[in-house]
Amino acid sequence: MSAAPIAIQERSDLADVRPYGPKPRRMSPGRIGIYAFLIVAALFFLIPVYIMIVTSLKGMPEIRLGHLFSLPHEPTFQPWADAWLHACTGRDCNGLSPGFYNSVKITLPSVAISIVCASINGYALTFWPYKGANLLFGLLVFGAFVPYQVVIYPLIIGLSSVGLFATLPGIIIVHTIFGMPILTLLFRNFYAALPAELFKAARVDGAGFWRIFFSIMLPMSVPIAVVAVILQVTGIWNDFLFGIVFAGRSNWPMTVQLNNIVNTTTGVKEYNVNMAATILTAAVPLVIYFISGRWFVRGIAAGAVKG
Amino acid sequence: MAATDTSVSIQDLSLSFGAVTVLQTLNLDVADGEFIVLLGPSGCGKSTLLNCIAGLLDVSGGRIVIKGKNVTWEEPKDRGIGMVFQSYALYPQMTVEKNLSFGLRVAGTPKDEIAKRIARAAEILQIEPLLQRKPTALSGGQRQRVAIGRALVRDVDVFLFDEPLSNLDAKLRAELRVEIKLLHRKLQNTMIYVTHDQIEAMTLADRIAVMKGGVIQQLDAPQIIYNRPVNRFVAGFLGSPAMNFLDGRLENAGGGWHFLADDLKIPLGTYHFDRQPAPGPTVFGIRPEHVSLNSGTGWPFSTAANVEVVEPMGSDTLVWLRLAKQNFSVRVTSERTPRNDEPVTVGFDPMRASLFDTVTGSRL
């Protein structure tokens, strides 16, 4: 430690020894502005969440007092239980839980089937180019830009002609089809970024289409598969339009049930139950983001940067 | 070459992508156990040719015969070839052992046979301690050794190397170059090796095929290619520092053929013409190491010049001069380095030179 001052003394020929060493960190006005903006933006989104949570924990008499921001005096979880088990949609008073299970029944197969198909699509388009492959890929990408509303009516006609309209397989097929463009794009770009020599080496080793896919490509696809799972789970879970049109009354997903609970016109509006129901519905995508956010960024980066 | 010891025979091979012709009626016969290097600049078609031999690209015309079997339409695995790539192309999710055994497992080879072959390959390449590691835990040199091993375990007739050392640093490259040479001596397999590195080509090859524009320019032993290049491209591509070229004229004046450029008159009495010379525009080429500086007037040709720039390169020094108003370099040992602007005498024997037709570029 004693060496440093001596060194500076020896260099007294230099009128000013600074700048020397690491640059000091200071809070510049620009940085203060950025933090101020971030805090305001965070509050903007967090205040409604706060209101939802406190309201869902209050009883109806307390809500009628109108103190929107106050914490609950007598916190109760009854609205949550009601939302899950007893809230009414029309004459059925079974709460959200049937919708939750419907959503699970729709989401799991849709996510699995669409990712399996898209990864095979992306793999074939990248490594086994055939005549018209680029055209097909172009059409698929174009499909990502078609507004959903345009194709709803033809799809209804098509599905009902094969007896799949308003059934569970029907809604799964619809979600799979609409996930295909973006997922194929995702997987194709991921595979295109892998070294082509890897594929060549496997062919010299004698592996065929499926062997290369399962033994070499699939094990490498974990990061992009995680991205695909997150995209699809949140997209399908949050879907309302396809659910209400294609699922059929008995398979209505959670989002549709929520809508029906909140919009039920008979009796008193139970704000606490509505808030609890909304939080419950949004919980699944939120949990997925919190758990896998790190993976999501990593997967996106793996697809984008390595290319 | 007798047909029986031909290992790989490429006959009238051509390849085009749409309107772009990459290879044009190319012929190449590789003898059994021979080490052939395909050398050329980027985009000359050397890697494309290798991919055609491997069966990774479909040819547009001609045929490929390996070990007497026409494999033009065969799958890569049925051609009896193993391939080593520039980026190593190791399967990242598999251990070294699984990487080595993948091809054998695909082919359904019995387990004890697989173990035997892996043990042998690992011993030859000295990668036994690495067998349980993943490729990410290996250095570049180790990865390339594993990649070579993957070709080794398949017991193939022909090894194909696609710029295998280009991703390594200079020191490792030199080490692995020697190892590949030793491997070839030990295995006596046919090897076809693609590179743009002339030192690799010179040191490894039994014969070099210098390629440009999808055409083999010259196919011969390294020394012949170096000393008697068939055209100006080959002469310029091989050799570092590069060959000197002087533009001038060929004339039969005053008792024999002379090369004339500006005030320079080089007698060609000792030069061996490949064909009957005729007067006309000509390029005179001579390598920097075949020129002598300040070593008396005993040379068939010598002239005075001034030193312009001196480039020390460690083992020796490159001295740049102006000769006939054109740049000219001379390679001297470090101890004999002249100073800038020093007057020197330049001497050489035209026997070591190469004369090229200015228009066609072919050797005279």
The reported pLDDT for the residue numbered B296 is 74
pLDDT-derived band of residue A302, with 50, 70 and 90 as boundaries?
A: low
Q: Tell me if chain A has a CB within 8 Å of the CB of B65.
A: no
Using alpha carbons, select from B130, B123, B126 the residue that is nearest to residue B97. Answer: B130
How many structural domains is chain B composed of? Answer: 2
Lowest mean per-residue pLDDT among A12-26, A136-150, B44-58, B109-123? A12-26
CB distance A197–B56 less than 8 Å? no
Handedness of CA A260, A263, A268, A270 (dihedral sign): positive
Low-confidence ranges of chain B (pLDDT < 70): 1-4
The amino acid at B284: F
CB distance B77–A204 less than 8 Å? yes
Residue A304 has pLDDT above 80, yes or no: no
Q: Which residue of B has its CA nearest to A218?
A: B93
What is the average per-residue pLDDT within A92-112?
92
Q: Tell me if chain B has a CB within 8 Å of the CB of A211.
A: yes
Q: Tell me if chain A has a CB within 8 Å of the CB of B57.
A: no
Return the number of other C-beta atoms located less than 10 Å from residue B33's C-beta: 15
Cα angle value A96/A97/A98 (rounded, 5°):
95
Residues B216 and B133 in one domain: yes
The reported pLDDT for the residue numbered A301 is 62
Residue B235 lies in a domain: no
Listed residues B230, B252, B268: the one ending a domain: B230
Residues B222 and B280 in one domain: no
Residue A179 has pLDDT above 80, yes or no: yes
What rounded mean pLDDT belongs to chain A? 87
Residues B152 and B219 in one domain: yes
Residue B101 lies in a domain: yes
Residues B70 and B118 in one domain: yes
The reported pLDDT for the residue numbered A244 is 92
| Structural domain containing residue B118 | 3-230
Q: Which residue of B has its CA nearest to A195?
A: B89
CB distance B76–A206 less than 8 Å? yes
Nearest chain A CA: its distance from B70 CA (Å): 17
Per-residue model confidence as pLDDT tens digits over B198-256: 999 999 999 999 999 999 999 999 999 999 999 999 999 998 889 999 999 998 877 78
> What gap in Å lies between CA B270 and CA B254, rounded to an integer?
15
Residue B239 lies in a domain: no
Alpha carbon dihedral B2, B6, B10, B11, in 10-degree steps, equals 20
Q: Which residue of B has its CA nearest to A199?
A: B89
Listed residues B230, B255, B286: the one ending a domain: B230
Q: What is the DSSP string of A118-139?
A: HHHHHHHHHHS--TTHHHHHHH
Q: Tell me if chain B has a CB within 8 Å of the CB of A306.
A: no
Q: Chain B partners of A197 at a C-beta cutoff of 8 Å?
A: 85-89, 162
Strand ranges (DSSP E) for chain A? none
Q: Choose the closest CB to A205 out of B93, B102, B162.
A: B102
Mutate to test the interface with B, among A134, A205, A210, A212 (most CBs of B within 10 A): A205
Q: Chain B partners of A218 at a C-beta cutoff of 8 Å?
A: none
Q: Which residue of A has its CA nearest to B56?
A: A200
Q: Chain A partners of B107 at a C-beta cutoff of 8 Å?
A: 206
In total, the C-beta contacts within 8 angstroms joining chain A to chain B are 62
> What gap in Å lies between CA A248 and CA A252, rounded to an integer?
6
Q: Tell me if chain B has a CB within 8 Å of the CB of A219.
A: yes
> What gap in Å lies between CA A59 and CA A72, rounded to an integer?
8
Lowest mean per-residue pLDDT among A16-25, A149-158, B112-121, B348-357? A16-25
pLDDT-derived band of residue A265, with 50, 70 and 90 as boundaries?
A: low
Q: Which residue of A has its CA nearest to B92?
A: A220
Residue A293 has pLDDT above 80, yes or no: no
Q: Which residue of A has its CA nearest to B108?
A: A206
Per-residue model confidence as pLDDT tens digits over A36-70: 999 999 999 999 999 999 999 998 888 888 888 88
Q: What is the reported pTM?
A: 0.82
Residue A300 has pLDDT above 80, yes or no: no
Question: Encoding tokens for residue A3?
Answer: 């060496």
Nearest chain A CA: its distance from B309 CA (Å): 39
Q: Tell me if chain B has a CB within 8 Å of the CB of A215.
A: yes
Q: Chain A partners of B87 at a C-beta cutoff of 8 Å?
A: 195, 197-198
CB distance B83–A215 less than 8 Å? no
User: Quick one: residue A52, left, alpha or beta (phi over 0 = left, psi -120 to 50 = alpha)?
Assistant: alpha
Residue B238 lies in a domain: no
Instruction: With beta carbons less than 8 A apart as the criterion, state whether B46 and B197 touch.
Output: no
What is the distance in angstroms between the CA of the first residue and the CA of the last residue of chain A?
A: 48
CATH of the domain at B200: 3.40.50.300
CB distance A215–B102 less than 8 Å? yes
Q: Tell me if chain B has a CB within 8 Å of the CB of A73.
A: no
Domain range annotation of chain A: 97-305
The reported pLDDT for the residue numbered A307 is 32
Within 13 A of B249's CA, how many CA atoms are on the CB side? 8
Residues B41 and B180 in one domain: yes
**ipTM entry:** 0.86
Q: Chain B partners of A211 at a C-beta cutoff of 8 Å?
A: 106
Segment 145-204 of chain A within 8 Å of chain B by CB = 195, 197-198, 200-204
Length of chain A: 307
Instruction: With beta carbons less than 8 A apart as the criterion, state whether A86 and A270 touch.
Output: no
CATH of the domain at B332: 2.40.50.140
Residues B56 and B194 in one domain: yes
Residue B362 lies in a domain: no
Q: What is the DSSP string of B1-28?
A: --GGGEEEEEEEEEEEETTEEEEEEEEE
Q: What does residue B307 show for φ and ψ, rounded to 5 degrees?
A: -70, 135
Per-residue model confidence as pLDDT tens digits over A244-254: 999 988 999 99
Of the candidate CATH numbers 3.30.70.141, 1.10.260.40, 3.30.450.40, 1.10.3720.10, the domain formed by A97-305 belongs to: 1.10.3720.10
Nearest chain A CA: its distance from B199 CA (Å): 25
Nearest chain A CA: its distance from B301 CA (Å): 53
Listed residues B196, B230, B264: the one ending a domain: B230
Q: Which residue of B has its CA nearest to A197?
A: B89
CB distance A205–B51 less than 8 Å? no
Helix (H) / strand (E) element for B354: namely strand B354-357
Calculate Rg over the CA atoms of chain A.
Answer: 28
Q: Chain B partners of A202 at a C-beta cutoff of 8 Å?
A: 91, 102
Residues B268 and B333 in one domain: yes
The reported pLDDT for the residue numbered A3 is 47
Nearest chain A CA: its distance from B107 CA (Å): 7
Per-residue model confidence as pLDDT tens digits over A182-211: 999 999 999 998 889 999 999 999 999 999
> What gap in Å lies between CA B47 and CA B28, rounded to an integer?
15
